[in-house]
Amino acid sequence: MFDKVALIGIGLIGSSLAHVMRREKLANKICISTRRKETLDRAEKLGLGDTYELNPEIAVEGADCVIICTPVGVCGAVAEKIKSHLASETIVTDVGSVKRSVIDQVSPHLPTNVHFIPGHPIAGTEYSGPDAGFASLFENRWCILTPEANASPEPVQKLKAFWERCGSQVEIMDPDHHDLVLAITSHLPHLIAYNIVGTASELEGDTRSEVIKFSASGFRDFTRLASSDPTMWRDVFLHNKDAVLEMLGRFSEDLSGLQRAIRRGDGEALFELFAKTRDIRRSIIEQGQDVEEPNFGRDSS
Ligand code: NAP
């Protein structure tokens, strides 16, 4: 689909793209660039690309597609570095978990003769770095693209086709709407997980060791989310502040309602909510976004 793809950042998402591009033969040449030499050397050892460059300016030269796969907080700095090295008509995209901030950071730097089409694959794991990637990460997952209303249709269609070849279904969305939806589906769950695991880690000695021992009763499911990359998630909360605060406000009100129901012994209110939330889980399974096996598909408990 592309002659040369430059991947800037080669963590979980960048390396998964490298694997799937190779498998599906989506690029004649993959050039990898990242900040640290250790990471670049590791990517080379894993054979993720064809060429390796510490300098993103050199990496993007001659590329017809550039994919920024760094934490969202540095997308603007990356755009500033590469701006004068981009060929005319290049597709520049990203994979960041927040869209409005990335657009505000990147757009001012890019020349008008390139096509900037922000993107976000709704796929991931709690692991990071170039070793974490695998070719099937994007299979049966959504990828959201948030192009400007006046974006040229052909490059948007081309990027859509690219993600489809990576195994994803693609939805075009307004960036602010994306940020609000992801605040509740992804960002708030991670914040709650970081908070509950943080609370547990502050408990006194004996109780704390029992938290680990008896974690299979629920706690361990939060620890998976709470072990996600700290840099990536720090940037998500700093860059999707308004939408997260909006959803956190609603969450806090609902939590107060639950607190009241428990204090008053209002079993009916509790039962009603717990029955409703079960239905949401059923819908997720029906739409193929999780498997039905107990313990979220783990083979031992
Ligand atoms: P990751 O595994 O932590 O990798 C991040 C990569 O970015 C590393 O290669 C790191 O390089 C590089 N990097 C950091 N700062 C850089 C800079 N200033 N210039 C160039 N490279 C830099 O992260 P990830 O999970 O792949 O996430 C990447 C992006 O995808 C994030 O924006 C995240 O929001 C988004 N995303 C993540 C997930 C997920 O579940 N993880 C899902 C969907 C979207 P060094 O090692 O050289 O420092």
Residue to mutate (ligand 1; options 45, 75, 95, 144; most atoms within 8 A of CB): 95
The pTM (predicted TM-score) of the whole model is: 0.94
Number of structural domains found in the chain: 2
Reading across the β-sheet that carries 115-117, which strands appear in turn?
A: 51-53, 27-33, 2-8, 65-68, 91-94, 115-117
- Residues 148 and 16 placed together within one structural domain of the fold: yes
pLDDT over 90 percentage in the chain: 86
For ligand 1, is residue 10 a contact (CB within 6 Å)? Answer: yes
Give the residue numbers spanning the domain of 115: 2-173
- Residues 64 and 154 placed together within one structural domain of the fold: yes
Tell me the CA–centroid distance for residue 77 and ligand 1, in Å.
14
For ligand 1, is residue 34 a contact (CB within 6 Å)? Answer: yes
For ligand 1, is residue 35 a contact (CB within 6 Å)? Answer: yes
For ligand 1, is residue 72 a contact (CB within 6 Å)? Answer: yes
For atom 10 of ligand 1, the residue with the nearest CA is: 9
The tens digit of pLDDT for each residue in 241-293 reads 999 999 999 999 999 999 999 999 999 999 999 999 999 989 989 888 888 87
- Residues 15 and 110 placed together within one structural domain of the fold: yes
For ligand 1, is residue 71 a contact (CB within 6 Å)? Answer: yes
- Residues 14 and 77 placed together within one structural domain of the fold: yes
**DSSP states of 81-150:** HHGGGPPTT-EEEE--S-SHHHHHHHGGGS-TTSEEE-EEES---S--SGGG--TTTTTT-EEEE---TT
The tens digit of pLDDT for each residue in 140-160 reads 999 999 999 999 999 999 999
pLDDT for 39 beyond 70: yes
For ligand 1, is residue 32 a contact (CB within 6 Å)? Answer: no
- Residues 114 and 67 placed together within one structural domain of the fold: yes
